């Protein structure tokens, strides 16, 4: 199948992050760090690895720290240079964006994920695009979006990342109704946002990585409020089912952390801390001792 190259990605970052108050009173949730890198950096790195060259942030009031993060910091950089701190300058490189590679568009009212993506419609135009939800952090040998871009080259259409979740957890997700299960790839015959556990078509949940046809943006023009009273991206994608471009789920290889929840954020912090060569030994020792102490106290 001949598919167009995916070069644009949308990062919906307008949410208030109330689950992480009081921290999010003054810092955007996306700037919160796993070890020493902000959540948003993981999403950007993953997008870059997949060939994305244009990054569209859908922001809201109070998110200016994100814009500063991806800007050059001349004073800081010259100080580091003068002090001969080459490694730190190297670390900062990942935060620099080419001029014009990053665009910000405001979502002026919190009307839902579908509405947030729709806010980027003029910047996307008439080409397929990716969406990455920075709350979903995915540790993988080959970055998740890159896996999807490769699978999409075979299928075209629309593709969402997916994984099996515990049946009692389905009501927190978009859920796929599966027509054909081909292993890594499934073709959907339905998709529903946050179904009740006993009404869910499966336990195959949508995870926050999407490759979408521009037709979905068109669908968003007239999508009504759905689950939770919000304009849902899931509903706009589901409209494509049965049309000329199918909707596929892609079972990615990797470990997903739900950094939109405190428990998930802590799990990711531990996992990423343990995966870091410079911290591994000390941190593993500490965790080991802590568990031993807890056991002894029981």
Binding site for ligand G1P (CB under 6 A): 113, 133, 136, 173-174, 193, 205-208, 232-234, 260
User: SS3 breakdown of the chain: % helix, strand, coil, rounded to 5?
Assistant: 40, 25, 35
* Residue 98 CA to its chain's centroid (Å): 21
- The span from the CA of 253 to the CA of 146, in Å, is 11
- The span from the CA of 201 to the CA of 219, in Å, is 23
Q: Do 57 and 103 form a contact (C-beta atoms < 8 A)?
A: yes
Smallest gap from Cβ 197 to ligand G1P, in A, equals: 14
Smallest gap from Cβ 174 to ligand G1P, in A, equals: 3
What are the helix (H) ranges across 185-261?
Answer: 215-220, 233-238
Smallest gap from Cβ 207 to ligand G1P, in A, equals: 5
96 three-state secondary structure: coil
Q: Which is nearer to ligand G1P, 17 or 157 (CB)?
A: 17
Q: Which is nearer to ligand G1P, 44 or 161 (CB)?
A: 161
Q: Which is nearer to ligand G1P, 113 or 148 (CB)?
A: 113
Q: Which is nearer to ligand G1P, 46 or 193 (CB)?
A: 193
What are the residues whose beta carbons fall under 8 Å from the beta carbon of 32, sequence distance 6 or more? Answer: 20, 23, 24, 38, 39, 259, 265
Q: Which is nearer to ligand G1P, 16 or 89 (CB)?
A: 16
Q: Enter the tokens of residue 22.
A: 């009081």
Smallest gap from Cβ 76 to ligand G1P, in A, equals: 33
Identify the bridge partners of residue 12 per DSSP, sorted by sequence position. Answer: 58
Q: Which is nearer to ligand G1P, 80 or 129 (CB)?
A: 129
Smallest gap from Cβ 113 to ligand G1P, in A, equals: 5
Q: Which is nearer to ligand G1P, 10 or 206 (CB)?
A: 206
Smallest gap from Cβ 233 to ligand G1P, in A, equals: 6
Which residue in the shown chain puts its C-beta closest to ligand G1P? 174
Enter the DSSP assignment of 121: H
Smallest gap from Cβ 27 to ligand G1P, in A, equals: 19
- The span from the CA of 249 to the CA of 133, in Å, is 16
Enter the DSSP assignment of 127: S
Q: Which is nearer to ligand G1P, 66 or 237 (CB)?
A: 237
What are the residues whose beta carbons fall under 8 Å from the beta carbon of 173, sequence distance 6 or more? Answer: 165, 194, 205, 206, 207
Smallest gap from Cβ 234 to ligand G1P, in A, equals: 5
- The span from the CA of 52 to the CA of 39, in Å, is 18
Q: Enter the tokens of residue 32.
A: 């919160």
């Amino acid at each position: 199948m001949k598919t167009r190259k995916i070069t644009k990605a949308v990062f919906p970052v307008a949410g208030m992050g109330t689950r992480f108050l009081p921290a999010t009173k003054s810092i955007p949730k996306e700037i919160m760090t796993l070890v020493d890198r902000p959540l948003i950096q993981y999403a950007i790195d993953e997008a870059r690895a997949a060939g994305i060259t244009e990054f569209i942030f859908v922001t809201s009031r109070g998110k200016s720290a994100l814009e500063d993060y991806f800007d050059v910091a001349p004073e800081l950089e010259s100080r580091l240079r003068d002090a001969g701190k080459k490694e730190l300058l190297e670390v900062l490189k990942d935060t620099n964006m080419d001029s014009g590679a990053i665009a910000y568009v405001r979502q002026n009212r919190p009307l839902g994920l579908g509405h947030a993506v729709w806010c980027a419609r003029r910047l996307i135009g008439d080409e397929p695009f990716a969406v990455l939800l920075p709350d979903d952090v995915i540790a993988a040998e080959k970055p998740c979006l890159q896996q999807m871009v490769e699978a999409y080259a075979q299928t075209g259409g629309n593709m969402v990342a997916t994984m099996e979740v515990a049946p009692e957890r389905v009501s927190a997700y978009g859920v796929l109704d599966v027509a054909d299960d081909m292993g890594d790839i499934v073709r959907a015959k339905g998709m529903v946002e946050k179904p009740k556990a006993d009404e869910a078509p499966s336990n195959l949940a949508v995870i926050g990585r999407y490759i979408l046809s521009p037709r979905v943006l068109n669908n968003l023009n007239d999508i009504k409020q759905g689950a939770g009273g919000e304009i849902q991206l899931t509903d706009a994608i589901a409209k494509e089912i049965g049309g000329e471009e199918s909707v596929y789920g892609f079972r990615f290889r990797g470990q997903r952390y739900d950094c939109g929840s405190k428990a998930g954020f802590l799990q990711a912090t531990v996992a990423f801390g343990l995966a870091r060569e410079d911290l591994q030994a000390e941190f593993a020792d500490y965790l080991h001792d802590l568990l031993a102490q807890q056991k002894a106290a029981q």
